[in-house]
Structure 1
Amino acid sequence: MDIATSAVAKVAEYLVDPIIHPFTYCCTYNTNFEKLNNEVDKLKNARESVRYKVDDSRIKGDGIQHHVEKWMITVDKAINEVETLIADKENSNNRWLKGLCPNLKTRYQLSMKAESEANAIAGLLEKGRFDGVSFRTIPEETWLNSTQGFMHFESRTSTLKEILDALSNRNFNMIGVYGMGGIGKTTLVKEVGRQAKEYNLFEKVISAHVSRTPQIKEIQREIAEKLGLKIDEESETGRAGRLLERLKKETKILIILDDIWGSLGLEAIGIPLADDMGGCKVLLTARSHDVLSSKMDCQKNIFVDVLNAKEAWSLFEKMTGDCIENGELKSVATEIVKECAGLPIAILPVAKALKNKSSLYVWKDALRQLKNKSLLGAAYSSLELSYYHLEDEDLGGEELRKTFLLIGYSYIRNVKDLLYHGMGLGLFQNINTVDEARDRAHTLVDKLKNSCLLLGGWRSEWFSMHDVVRDVAISIASRDQHVFAVENEVVPLTSWPDKDVLKDCTAISLNNSNINELPQGFECPQLKYFRIHNDHSLKIPDNFFTGMTELRVLDFTRMHLLALPSSLGLLQNLQTLSLDYCELGDMAIIGDLKKLVILALRGSDMKELVGEIGQLTQLRLLIAPMLPTESYSPRCLIELIPIRRTIYW
């Protein structure tokens, strides 16, 4: 009996199922396609959600996970296939006998395909539930992929080879490069780093600028950022420990520390020197041999000399173009190159200023300004000459010159700060929006770089100014615009200018200031710009701003401002207020600054964004730290709605 039952079941499996199975697909034809459409809609929504996250990550400069990119390609292909299947459904012959009966064979095939595609799409939906779509990339320094700026002269090539040989020597872990200011040390060591990376001497090459007043935290931040390392510790020692731990894991890394002026403790920064257990090789640049040999204990120091006469002429000729082939100009050009004394920082700006100038009197005037000067005087004269020759058909030389001086005496180093300060001073002409001003700031910086008056930074929006160039800029600004600028650790501020000088002063800039108290009765009726970078507590008299009502830009950086002075409310012409990286308390007085256009509070320690900010009806740009929602008063949130598009967190 059991054998008979089994036999009947087997017969049914082979004879009945092949009939029932296709019939089932025919019956579920519409259901399967409805399910497929629903699954496709879900997949399209999921794809758009992932695509938004991917686009946002790319804008931020992050890399995209490989499996995410692969999923998106598979999804696009699957959606295309489904759309083809749906088109086949619409175009297929689904009925026969003159439309009286459905075409069962076609329906069976399409229904089965729809079910299969729906199941596949459901699987793709499940795989698309990503915890994250991106990863943080470590941007490589732009100069590592460019030879621009390096002069392939015999003297430079031989020096470069000497440095590379020293870096290849296992006995040397710290090498110094020295020469006078403006000789081209920075350009040379960058080319060393580029070739060292290209020839696999090192897996990583990173650089940091030290300057005359080294800021340990800034150096640590710069190195850590280029390593892709996040440092949360506030103390220098804690940051040094974290950096040391990371760098000891590197086996082939070169760190370039540019512009050393005195003793610099590598351990205090967190840089371990190379040994058999890992660590870094360090390449230093300085103006003094004693700094490298006595204060930094470099095992080998390499001198960079001025260009010889042939090299200097070749560089000048390359920069000025064909115009010096004119017999009269060539004789004057020869004298100009001689006055520049082989100093690239003198040759390049003069050559840029005279490029394609065909008038003999322009060249003779340039020569007269360079004559009878010492070497440093020649550099100063050449830089002043390039400043006075700043001109542009689109922007106008006056705007470029003012930008150059502002960067010089304000010590700003990026386009954002130039934007904030420049807008406050009304520097940018014929612009109507913040975006237009930002474009103009980028353009002006590029113009100054092309004129050899600014150096590039490790990212496109950053820049630096050579010390000699800055000295010239401050000298011109002091003489022509009555600017008072001091870098305190270089020229200690022992006393303020007398009252007569202050009455004519248009700008005051104190960089790395360690003064403890601002003076009473500060009468500066012409003052438009006031900046103090102070890492210490600074006492500000409550009536301090009463004598500077024309002020347009006020920048207090890294200060303890638990209570803003009441006289701040008198600054009715103030356009830009920057309180970056400050400890801030009561800020209600800000509501009185009715003409304020830019308010910057980057990195500041503050408990709340006060409602009085909502009274600033002219505000176009607010840069504030991210605060919890409850830290914004309701009135502040309501009032800020009109400028929301220009808030940058």
Structure 2
Amino acid sequence: MKDGVQELVNAAKRNGEVINFDVQSWLKSVNVLIKEVLHFEEEVRMKRRCLYRWNISRKATKITQDVRHLQKEGTFNNVAHPAPPPMIWSTFREGFKDFKSRMTHVNRVIEVLKNEDVRMIGICGMGGVGKTTMVKEIIKRLEGLKAFDNIVMAVVSQSPSIQKIQSEIAEELGFKYDENTESGRARRLYRRLMEINSILIVLDDVWTELDFEAIGLPSQLSHKGCKVLLTSRNEDVCKEMGSQEIFTLPVLTPEESWELFREIIGKPLDYPDLAKRVTNECAGLPIAILTVAKALENKRKYEWDDALKQLQSSAPGSISSMNDKVYSKHTMEYGWGRGYFSNIDSVEEARNRVHSLVDKLQRRFLLLESKWGDHTKMHDIVRDVAISIASRDPHRFLIRCDAEKKGWPKIYDHCTTISLIPINIDEIPVGLECPKLELLHLEGERYSENSMDIMCKGMKELKVLALVDMGGISALPRSLGLLKSLRTLSLNGCYDLTDISDAIGRLENLEILSFRKCSRILELPKEIGLLKHLRLLDITDCDRLEKIPHGLLSSLSSLEELYMENSFRKWEQSAAESEDKRMASLVEVMSLLSNHLKVLVIDIPDFNFFPKDLYLTIQTTIRFHISNSLGPSPVRTPSTRAGCYAFENKLDIVESDAREFMEIQIVRVLFKKCEDLMLGRIKNLKYVLNELDQEGLQHLKVLTIRECPEIEYLVNGASWTQQTAFPLIQSIELWGMPKLKAIYHDQLPQSSFINLRSLQLDDCPVLKYVFSLSVASNLVQLQSLSVAMCPQMKEIVSKERREHETASDIIAFPKLTNLTLYELSNEFVGFYEVNKLYSNNEITDEPKDQNVVGTSYDEHQSSRSFERVATCES
């Protein structure tokens, strides 16, 4: 009997099952009894005298009873049961590195998962950045913390299978489905999950929105203890599925990449400099670093050299700033020329389409955010794949970033797009024929008119031509007129260009013309007026341009966007003696508003050049950047133009009289529509908002005021209406304000300044405090505060409270992370003299101002750290 049970047990063990406890106990008892029987038999042989027979008889009776008892208990329905699944983390390979770029996210995710109100969290990032590896580390740490009763993980993938997801979850919970249908399995899984008090379900590699009900996952309302952690390459998926928190995982820093690479190699590197270059080509992607490092382990130098060459083969490293910027401006201009925008009627609509697509690609991590706000970046590996795809049929893009070495391509007749950087145009072969070419982008130093003629004759279907930073072009050749299909012409940075008159008028289908930074052009040729289809004209930074013939601009009846910053300034204010000497006037420009003009960027000598009888309605749709600051000025703010035309409505007004420019109706309307306002050295201006816009500058986001000698308050509440002041303002900079007494005086509506994020005060000698209690309570968005060279400043929040204000009105600026206090009063007491908002123990690793004293206002503030704190005694 024992042998039969043992055989069943052995079979169960081979199947990985767990032997039932009663079976194990029975077998143990049987083995003990067998030993007793053997010992008894030996005793019988040794003790045959009559004296011992009675004792032996008793033992025999006892053994017989035990045998019968075990025989009775030795009948089992099952000797074993399926083994429970192993702890999920026990199957994970080691591989997570506690880099700073990772640990910040790991700790934050764990912290958020502990929040009872959070049901779903998303972790997103580009493919290969390490999302799955990080999630596995999070699971291991959660298991150690015993934060959940169960943690399960299912891989979703690009083509999700509900049945596969259900099976993976069930397997890790240790049960099998009897049901065959998805709906039946969903009900079974739902019931099982509802039995678990707290469970974390990890869904890895999610590409599209999942139907939780179809899978069998309970909702937050039905099971608050069931949380979901998902990873995806698409931020939109995380949002669509209802993630309450989304974490974006960045690529590794160069230092982290190098550390990981060395660790994988596992021994001193024979070629450290070469290894660093190879590591840099992996561009911070852990999966690329892992693959390349393992492939090069124990390899010889020539194999390392070859690997580096292959990694660099399609990487446009020679393009200036290529790794930092992908130009949205070029995307729109080139796309428009190629006719890519279907059902689009205007350049602005096309730009909006581009921005929407860029945002979508960023959310899917095919494009990355850049430190340049109006640009985007493309990861090296994504770029290489994109170039590879674009080079095949039916696209046939030819993109070379080392064209200076390789010269003009030998195979080009099937190409639709060619981009060569840098290239010498004088290398173009005679007899060139590119019958399918629609877009040509060239950057280089050398140019020859003969090569340009060859190019124009062989590319008659060309729709987009960009000659960028091309030296040696003094005039456009007449052969350019052969390009009858040309819709976009970009000559940006052609610094030798002086004359475009010969060919430009013959490009009758041209819609976008840009020659930014062509600083030798003195006159805008009248032939441009022949371009009846022209929608966008950009002559930004043509700083020597002195003549635009009268009537030229007004003849551009289809013009939608005009960019002239740091360019022509000699606007006609009154008619000249002879017609040929007349210049373009602002009356011409403004007349275009009645046609199609939607964007206007100009410099003017004086706002009085705007006719006072010219009327502009607030309903007029126009984006603008208008400045009367001519040339370098200590009060002029940095330009908002950056090449993609995505600026905010901006006014720069310097060295002017407020009483005079406020008499001009157009200026008053521009103030109401303005989003970015700079005022410098303005006379006759005491209360900014009261005198510029009684409606409160409802659209303003950025305000910069410098060296305005008479300003006392931004708002004087004593003469203010109930209109909210600065409801959208995000940034305020006040500098060199000798009479500024306070940001505002008296009372303001509750929502004033509610979106303020950055405040900078410099050289305000009579300013004693920054905020009153009532306004301070609104500043929940404030992130950066800088107060410098204010010798009368005694406190940030005024202790001079009104009757309705109490200490409880104070808040502790929960988002403030950058604080600068410099050269303030010797009597400076801190944020607030009575209820101090911050304590010295929060200002670490920086020189401390002994005057910044007090205790934390709230318990939660004690754990908050600043990104930047600078303090200095006066």
Under TM normalisation by the shorter chain, which class is it? Answer: 0.3 to 0.5
Normalised TM-score (structure 2): 0.36
Normalised TM-score (structure 1): 0.47
Greater Rg by CA: 2
> Greater share of helix residues, 1 or 2?
1
| Bigger RCO of structures 1 and 2 (CA < 8 A, at least 6 apart) | 1
